[in-house]
A and B are shown apart, each in its own frame.
Chain A
């Protein structure tokens, strides 16, 4: 399990496994980044901070998926739909019932967590131990159902509740200015990651869940109510997805298409990080965020140095997560911190 090894050990192991070619590639990357920092220092700093912020938002979106996939082995394609539901529940709580943002931030994740419990008990519990593709297909079907239900209730158009007054505008970070709400999202994301990490690695509950994943029969034999723990874990993963949606809807609004839009990105992050590793997902989220923000600057700076304008490819940002995934999988097929044997 990912959490049985500390981050430093994992990083050392990762570096020790690198070939000279990979290290040369890393050196080239550093040089390119250095060139970009020299050529466009202001933009480089803006994008580095922007990438960090965006990366943490990606971590927030993918954390619940990493948890359910990594610990329970369920390929939960409905994660995006749960994320979307979090947005709609927040909207309903604030716009329809007039409750404040803070109440919505609590109610929406719990509501989504309850939906997650229903999904786990009614559908997924029957699929444990079976081929992952079966769980994927089942949750894909659930995604379609939840999407259509949302469309029926809230319509096809995007909805967005009002942002709390004190979270509007930007915050001056001296070297750049970042949206206050985005910084709030980063803070929530950081707390969530820390909380989940603590729960999984430092509590009896986390230990028993991990034990149950490795040897369910033996774990139940010693008196652990494993189904209850799995349900609780799915509640947690769903609630975190709902929290991500709750944060998202206030910033940009949400529509039924969000379910599919974000589940792909979440899967990319989890795959890059390595299935089974929460730490890997955090690092992957940051890596993707930085890559999306910095690669265009790197290409632009390289175009200046070489005089070849074609290098500065317009509109490349959206494919960067997938390029990063391809590169990582070519070098390390199980992802940056994926464990051998998990879902293989």
Chain B
């Protein structure tokens, strides 16, 4: 078996046999049933990393002639556009992986309805009734944290596809939880140099839930560490049907710069009302830019952004083939959620193939310290990517972008309205493991 990816660090973990609690968990029972079933088969075909098959039965919860993936994400409500894009990305990854490994991959999706309880119920059903091998998904950090806790307790590998909350790789990290996206603090550290240079005083508006709270803390911490001042911060209920009152408070603060840490499509409302209030000339920063949010606005409105952090976007030089494939699907232009869906599935499947198992402890060992060399590195624009052992964060490059002039905003072959200002190595923006509060 030829691995297409290599382990960068020795995980130093005990073998799965000794690392797993002796407690009989539901997941273990499922795995045992799966293994027992497999022994009754004449043999199943496992996939090699290089795409060849050796015809051997794999140990663990599943044979690798097929892998079943569950994705619980938002397919309704204000985050539906993000969840659906992640599903599209995941489906593309499945196409590629099936071709590469000769393995049948099944994706089951369900709607979290943006409710942690509903998300958990759907995830549990996918695992216990749908027999998925590992979980991906969630846009909302609140949903992701709930799923992460359950996945940890039940030994299910979980990739919180679209959540950026620091808690996931911090105080609420989990043995079997691996975050494929950049964390809030990574994005905050990415834009902090631009924000520090842009203004000494900032006012922060943030969505009042886990993602926004951790984003505000991260941005404020980065600004204050550089000697800047946060003159005020305003928690904004999310979703909110009106941002005028919060924009008024930002305006009244007198701060020459405003950090708009608003989630999802609500960023459109906030931006529109910033323009309507006449304060768009102040410096505006957003720590996590999702191009799609601005595509729903006219180009003049979208051109107000001065500095923003980004995990990836169409402006990044890389993944042109991926962008083209998304564009050809015709549903929407490529943006970060497509790539996050792709990465979640890509990394999950490759970990299972390397581990020759879909058992959570085996996948964990295959992921911890693993240096990524799959096509997602090119898609991300190059640079080191690896799964950090101490907190299960995918350390990866991040970017800062700024609005192009309206004349330079491209719509063909796909929308491309921003330009990359800086690229940061993942190690330069990721907080040290000892500062995360994670103790894996």
CA distance A40 to B76 in the complex (A): 40
CA distance A181 to B248 in the complex (A): 17
What are the residues of chain B within 8 A of A251 when measuring CB–CB? 272
CA distance A50 to B245 in the complex (A): 7
Q: Which of A187-195, A238-246, A310-318 contacts B (4 or more CB under 8 A)?
A: A310-318
CA distance A318 to B207 in the complex (A): 12
Partner of A315 from the list B235, B252, B300 (CB cut-off 8 Å) is B235
Size category of the binding interface on chain A: 35 or more
CA distance A156 to B80 in the complex (A): 6
What are the residues of chain B within 8 A of A53 when measuring CB–CB? 244
What are the residues of chain B within 8 A of A182 when measuring CB–CB? 244, 276
- Are B244 and A50 neighbours in the complex by a CB distance under 8 Å? yes
- Are B273 and A179 neighbours in the complex by a CB distance under 8 Å? yes
* Chain A 246-282 near chain B by CB (<8 Å), digits 1 or 0: 0000011101110001100100000000000000000
- Are A255 and B252 neighbours in the complex by a CB distance under 8 Å? no
* Interface assignment of B146: CB less than 8 Å from any CB of chain A: no
Instruction: Check A156/B241 contact, CB under 8 A, given A40-B252, A257-B77.
Output: no
- Are A54 and B265 neighbours in the complex by a CB distance under 8 Å? no
* Interface assignment of A43: CB less than 8 Å from any CB of chain B: yes
Minimum CB distance partner of B301 in chain A: A168
- Are B245 and A317 neighbours in the complex by a CB distance under 8 Å? yes
Instruction: Check A252/B272 contact, CB under 8 A, given A156-B84, A163-B298, A315-B237.
Output: yes
Residue of B208, B236, B237, B241 with most chain A CB atoms under a 10 A cut-off: B241
Q: Which of A11-19, A169-177, A203-211 contacts B (4 or more CB under 8 A)?
A: A169-177
Instruction: Check A170/B276 contact, CB under 8 A, given A42-B252, A255-B77, A257-B76.
Output: yes
* Interface assignment of A139: CB less than 8 Å from any CB of chain B: no
What are the residues of chain B within 8 A of A40 when measuring CB–CB? 252
Task: List residues of A (29-60) whose CB comes within 8 Å of B's CBs.
Answer: 40, 42-43, 46-47, 50-51, 53-54, 57
* Interface assignment of B19: CB less than 8 Å from any CB of chain A: no
Minimum CB distance partner of B234 in chain A: A314
- Are A261 and B245 neighbours in the complex by a CB distance under 8 Å? no
* Chain B 415-426 near chain A by CB (<8 Å), digits 1 or 0: 000000000000
CA distance A156 to B208 in the complex (A): 23
* Interface assignment of A158: CB less than 8 Å from any CB of chain B: yes
**27 A-B pairs, CB-CB below 8 angstroms?**
A40-B252, A43-B248, A46-B251, A47-B245, A47-B248, A53-B244, A54-B242, A54-B244, A57-B242, A156-B75, A157-B80, A157-B84, A158-B296, A170-B276, A178-B276, A178-B277, A179-B273, A251-B272, A252-B269, A255-B77, A255-B78, A257-B76, A261-B241, A293-B244, A293-B248, A314-B235, A315-B237
Interface residue ranges, B against A (CB under 8 Å): 75-78, 80-81, 84, 208, 234-237, 239-242, 244-245, 248-249, 251-252, 265, 268-269, 272-273, 275-278, 296, 298, 300-301
Interface residue ranges, A against B (CB under 8 Å): 40, 42-43, 46-47, 50-51, 53-54, 57, 151, 155-158, 160, 162-163, 168-170, 172, 176-182, 251-253, 255-257, 261-262, 265, 292-293, 296, 314-315, 317-318
